[in-house]
């Protein structure tokens, strides 16, 4: 299962959040991280075996990072053919 976590940062803090996420890059399941322009400030791409594992990463790790004002998680079901 793949998930895209869209992050809205408090003004002026997106690079700080990105550095914080990169410092915790040992988080199992995080496969990509980008700063982006638009409605959201960052996107984190996760892969995990279950929805519960995705939820654990989002709620126990990502949302605990200071200066994150909002997250939106998009779940993608994919086949590994």
Please compute, for residue 40, the number of CA atoms within 13 A of its CA located in the half-sphere on the CB side: 16
Structural domain count of the chain: 1
What CATH number did the domain enclosing 8 receive?
A: 3.30.70.920
Torsion angle, CA of 9/12/13/19, rounded to 10 degrees?
120
The contacts of residue 50 (CB under 8 Å, 6+ apart) are: 1
Each of the 81 residues of the chain gets a pLDDT tens digit; together they read 899 999 999 999 999 999 888 886 556 788 899 999 999 999 999 988 999 999 998 998 888 999 999 999 999 976 554
| SS3 state of residue 80 | coil
Q: Is residue 9 part of a domain?
A: yes
Which residue range(s) make up the domain with 48?
A: 2-76
Q: Is residue 81 part of a domain?
A: no
């Amino acid at each position: 299962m793949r998930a895209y976590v869209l992050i809205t940062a408090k003004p002026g803090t997106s690079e700080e959040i990105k550095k914080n996420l990169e410092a915790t890059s040992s988080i199992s399941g995080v496969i990509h991280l980008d700063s982006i322009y638009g409605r959201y400030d960052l996107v984190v791409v996760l892969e995990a075996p279950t929805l519960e594992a995705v939820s654990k990463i989002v709620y126990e790790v990502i949302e605990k990072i200071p200066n994150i004002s909002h997250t939106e998680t998009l779940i993608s079901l994919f086949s590994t053919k």
